[in-house]
Amino acid sequence: MSGGTDSSVAAILLKECHSIIEGITFISYDSLLKSCNEKEKGCCNIDSIMMAKNLADKLNINHNIIDLRDEFEQSVIKDFISEYMSGNTPNPCVLCNKTIKWGKLFNIAKKTKCDFLATGHYAQVVCENGRYFIRKGVDTLKDQSYFLWMLSQENLAKTIFPLGGLRKNEVREIAIKNSYDYLAQKKESQEICFIPNDNYRTFLRERIPDIEQKPGPGNFVNIEGKIIGQHKGFPFYTIGQRKGLEIAMGYPVYVLDIDADTNTITLGDGSQLLKTEVWINRINFMKYPDIYEEKDAMCKIRYNNKGEECYVKQYGDKIKIEFKNPVSAVTPGQSAVIYEENDIIAGGIIMKSN
């Protein structure tokens, strides 16, 4: 229970069907203890915690506040920093779901003998042929299946998504119908919870005080390797970036490649961003136990990506994805999630090109 619209309505719906519910709100980061008035701190969870508690009291739900700051630091934040310092662009929400929500909280649920873990995600859990998998939420504009590809079979067998079959407007209507008008009017946060204003560069500077010197400035090069300018340090750039490069080439240029070992960033035009092939590792299979036989599929390479037609095939502990049409800005470190229509087949982490 985050105090937001979705998890609150999920709790309302569950309370209508089940007599015994345990509500959990977790604290993941120090800045989440700040007030909403401290806008520079980003997330305003001190107020959200109280909203969750007040709702739980009204619903007669036992409410637990769990401090997971140490666990969040060790698993999510350290990985976030490590990935950027390796020249990759991480997806912390995917890792948080695996290690915190369906890691620590899942274990707490088991210890307290709860039968299921429920959240306000817009997604659905399906079981066919002895396999559990995620199906997209009915509301395609709110679908959050992309962030859930790391969940295990054990996780999915004990998970409920009360909002999976609803659209956002229906969720707001449920809040109003139950006299929680303030929930229907709450704004949604699109930020990473520990990155105020989505400014990851400021976060890295705060966490790595000498980042301006190590790695420090480096070279921009073109596709032939010729030096064409200087940048501020590779951690401050991402694949596909065009704005903020502070270099004039007479035509739009984009970040094509980041080499952390040499602190070199390759720039090129938009056509040079296109790829037809990508490999992923750290695979988690859902609908099928493997895909050694080539399949037609759809692949999302980022959350707001509509999905790209492709062929996929497993090779050992990796999957090769061949796009039917060239795809722009494939970013190492991000998640690639493979779908069969609305069902997740598998997901993995995009690897650097050789």
Catalytic residues: 96, 193
Q: Are strands 308-315 and 318-328 parallel, antiparallel or unpaired?
A: antiparallel
Cα 326 from chain centroid? 24
> Phi/psi at 297 (nearest 5 deg)?
-155, 180
Q: Are 219 and 230 in contact (CB under 8 A)?
A: yes
What does the alpha-carbon distance between residue 66 and residue 25 come to, in Å, rounded to a whole number?
A: 6
**How far apart are the C-alpha atoms of 301 and 307, rounded to whole Å?**
7
Q: Which amino acid is at 347?
A: G
- Tell me if 117 sits within 8 A of 109, measured CB to CB: yes
Instruction: Say how many C-beta atoms besides its own lie within 10 A of residue 236's C-beta.
Output: 18
Q: Is 224 exposed, middle or buried (0-12, 13-18, 19+ CB in 10 A)?
A: exposed
Tokens representing residue 121 in the block: 């995600």
Q: List the structure tokens of 197.
A: 């204003």
Contact 10, 118 (CB under 8 A): yes
- What is the Cα–Cα distance from 93 to 150, expressed in whole angstroms? 11
